[in-house]
Structure 1
């Protein structure tokens, strides 16, 4: 799977499988990135909010893999909602990562996390942040730009006035929680959709129907979840620091039948993420 890519609207190739690094500290991120790159991963996803960009950068340098072979993503913090703050944050990310350019920079959320999905939609402010991303792109500091957690009207707000259309929307998507209308809107507008938490932070792994279907294919429940997203033409970003899980998550050379895909698409909703339910995207609010 490591060589398989989608093409962004500007022709940049994005690997279909990447490594997520949420909730890893600097040291864990450095080790996980080094392990992942040695296994064959070439797509690494981090964020300013994760507090581990320097660790990701260290892992990249220790891996010995050539920079041009890698696809590195980071995200402008959700709380930065003006041009200057966003532009400065991109410079800081470049410095922390130790890179001359970043392959993809995205706006982490249309609203600050404490106001996620609240009444204030930050339409005007997001246009300012988007302008900072466009300028970084045109300056060659960034190879592609996009958004994360944006709903259709959040994206339409940018499309009204942008010079460069968003190339990516990174969203929560997995079996039991797949926003089909939003995915269709993005794909119809040339926006590649990335699925974060494609294994629902592990809570899906004990689901008896999913495990039974995985057994029929001779794969793990995690592999079934990832393959499901890939067959919807989504990039997958499973997060793990375990090398065995990294290998398993990239061993996806099987095809889910059309009938089984329909079953998975109509799986009962999964809304309880256990210990991770505090994250605002999952319905809670940061305090």
Structure 2
């Protein structure tokens, strides 16, 4: 079965997200842990969460992906911003234990001309302070397009972060198809080669989820502009190969395409029709 979903709003609760997912034939979804531009998280409603967990069990939901706010920059130049990132990270991981055994994805950050090595040191410091042995959530580093001073534009940079984390068994990677393509990894003409490189540098056992997006820009553009499935430079043929690839087909695929719910429903229907699993 193709494990596929999209980004849903947590504002109306977990049960509502579960019902919305079922309406569009999704069996997983992604949600922001709080406002994507930052701020205080909404108080958890355990009754709502319990209803969702029952719904998820009854409908065989795949693993869920929580997403950290975009304002979380673990390697910011400003110490106050790094402290905000740490406090947000710790709070999110505690809250996610109410929906155990899922995934928490974050953008590694922007080093703001401090240099990659300094930025990675800040990121690993935060992860070493935030991650605990007891947590059931797996933390995912997202592959980035490499615009500006983003960290995570290469598999080697993600590997360097992983190597600096003591509880690295709690870490994985979310591969964003738009981001890796824009970063220069040619998943259109050499998907096998890209996956072989990922396995060599990071290890495919750490690949836990895929953000499935087309790209408005060409390979190596470092732009990060998502497109609807089949309407960008990656194209429907390549995306079909991705969802059917033996090393990827059982992972959760999360759509972040520029759509409303009806658009996601159309993309999910299309992708299910192209899946050979």
Coarse TM-score class (shorter-chain normalised):
0.5 to 0.7
Task: Measure the CA separation in 2 of the matches of 1:50 and 1:59.
Answer: 21
Q: Aligned match of 1:65 in 19, 39, 55?
A: 55
1:29, distance to aligned residue in structure 2 (A): 8.9
Deviation at 1:139, TM superposition (A): 1.4
Q: What residue is the counterpart of 1:154 in the other structure?
A: 157
CA RMSD in angstroms, aligned pairs only: 4.5
Q: Partner residue of 2:100? A: 101
Counterpart of 1:238?
255
Q: Structure 1 residues 208 and 102, CA, compared in 2 at 3 Å: closer, same or farther? A: closer
Deviations 1:21-46, CA, capped at 9 Å, x for gaps: 4xx58359975542213555332222
Q: Does 2:123 correspond to 1:126?
A: yes
Query: TM-score w.r.t. structure 1 length?
Result: 0.56
- CA 245–145 in structure 1, closer or farther in 2 if over 3 Å, else same: same
Q: Which residue of 36, 39, 42 corresponds with 1:50?
A: 36
> What is the count of residue pairs matched by the alignment?
221
Query: Structure 2, unaligned stretches of length 5 or more?
Result: 76-81, 144-151, 187-192, 216-225
Q: 2:198 aligns with which of 186, 195, 211?
A: 186
Output one character per residue of 1:117-142: Cα deviation in whole Å (capped at 9) or x when no partner. Answer: x553211111122224531xx213x3
Three-state SS of the structure 2 residue aligned to 1:155 is helix
1:198 paired with 2:213, answer yes
The runs of 5 or more residues in structure 1 that have no matched partner are 3-15, 211-220, 256-287
- Per the TM alignment, residue 61 of structure 1 is displaced from its structure 2 partner at its CA by 4.2
Using the alignment, how far apart are the partners of 1:74 and 1:153 within structure 2? 24
Report the TM-score when normalising by structure 2: 0.58
